[in-house]
Each structure stands twice: as C-alpha cells, then as structure tokens.
Amino acid sequence: MRVRDIVRNSFDRLIESGALPAYERRGRYTPPIVRHNPTWRPEHMELAHYGASASGLYADPNAWRAAVEFIRAFTAASAGRGDLPWQLPGWSGSFGEVPAEDLLHHLVASLGAFGLRPMSSNTITHTAYLDATDTVGVAALPEPYGRWLQVQERRPRWKEKIELRLVARAQARIAMRSDGRFDAFADMALSGPAISLMHGLASDLGRPLPPPASARWLPRA
C-alpha cells in the first residue's frame, strides 16, 4: 500500500464518519480531444472542471480548511518536523500474556505489509520506528486539497508533485496485574492521521476494529 492510498482511504473514512461534511466528487480531469482553434485552452477547461461546486464541504470554510490540514499532515514537510501528534496509547486494548518482543515483532511485520519500512528499533524499550514515502500529483490526492489551492490560494497546482511521508512508532508495553500475570499493550504514534492504516492493522492482527473515525483525527488548530 502506498502513502497516497492511506491518505485517500483515511480521508474517505473521515467523511463517511461525519467528522467533515460530504463534498461533490468531480473525478480526475480527462483532457478532451484537441481541436483546431478551440474556444477554451486545455488548462482553462481543467480549472473549470474542478471549480464548479460550492456546496457541502466547500460551503464551510473552516471545515474545508480542516480537510486540507488533514491531508497536509501526510506531506514530507509535516512528517519531517519530528513530531508524532497522533498518539494511540494502549491501542486495541490488551493483547494478553504476549511477550513484549513477540508483540513488537507482530506489529512491525503487519505495518510492513502496509508499506512501512523499519527505520530503527530498541530491544530494551521494545520500540520500533517505521516510515513510508511516496511522490504523487496533486490531482491524485482528495479533491478538497487541490481545490483549496486553486480557489482559496489562487495557485492551481493539479499537475504538481507532492512528497508524502508517514512515520509510525510502535512500542510493546507490559503491565503487571495484581495476580502476578501481565497484559501486553501496543502504544502507537503517527505523524499523520492514518485512519485506514490503523483499521488495516487491526484487521491483520485479528483485533477489534477501532470505533468510527471522528473529529479527534483532525489536526489541532
């Protein structure tokens, strides 16, 4: 899975959950057959294609801005700050009496199946850092991002390439119980609001799916 897929799928889940208003999806622009002396230049037709709707999400400037910041959180520039704002302590509850090293191994292997590569690990703290990078055109990202650049910032950049990056930290933690037994927990942290990644991770590990996406996944103002 590429980072662009995680972005698109996560954004779709955010909209479906009602955390943001729905929007009219125009779909990727397909240039028409070039004719002699056309009335509209191809680039003008592309702008008209993406600039038509002004309802739903686009009618709420604050919600639209939040949608754009959600997508921007996946850019390499955002991930490069070194912060992991999306903290999920005790993600998915207790894994039972699973040794920390085994739990971390399963977490890293499953995240790897979704395209994240190990960067570093610490066997003492049972912590691993992973990341994934991608380069994608603006037109391949959720439309509210490109439309914001075109309408609000007046900088149409549909063909421009954007560097994406997602960093994840997985830590296996052991909590002792009063009866002498223990529970293993997974503390997760992400550089971007990768909702679909966490749903996929839960499914891959046979864990209960997280609750529906909500506004808690939106970047903080």
Q: What is the pTM of this model?
A: 0.85
Which regions of the chain does DSSP assign to beta strands (E)? 86-91, 117-122, 127-137, 161-176, 182-190
The Cα 221–Cα 26 span in angstroms is 28
What pLDDT score does 112 carry? 97
Average pLDDT, the chain: 88
What pLDDT score does 155 carry? 82
User: How far apart, in Å, are the Cα atoms of 34 and each of 51, 71, 161?
Assistant: 21, 33, 25
The Cα 115–Cα 2 span in angstroms is 6
**Residue 161's beta-bridge partner residues?**
137
Percentage with pLDDT > 70 across the chain: 86
What pLDDT score does 45 carry? 47
| CA atoms in the 13 A half-sphere facing the CB of 26 | 23
Mean pLDDT of 109-116: 97
What pLDDT score does 52 carry? 56
What pLDDT score does 39 carry? 52
What pLDDT score does 216 carry? 84
pLDDT, tens digit, for every residue of 135-145? 999 999 999 99
What pLDDT score does 23 carry? 87
What pLDDT score does 170 carry? 98
16-30, 104-118, 152-166: which has the highest mean pLDDT?
104-118
Each domain of the chain, given as residue ranges in start order, spans 3-23+43-217
What pLDDT score does 31 carry? 54
Is residue 119 pLDDT above 90, yes or no?
Answer: yes
Amino acid at 98: V
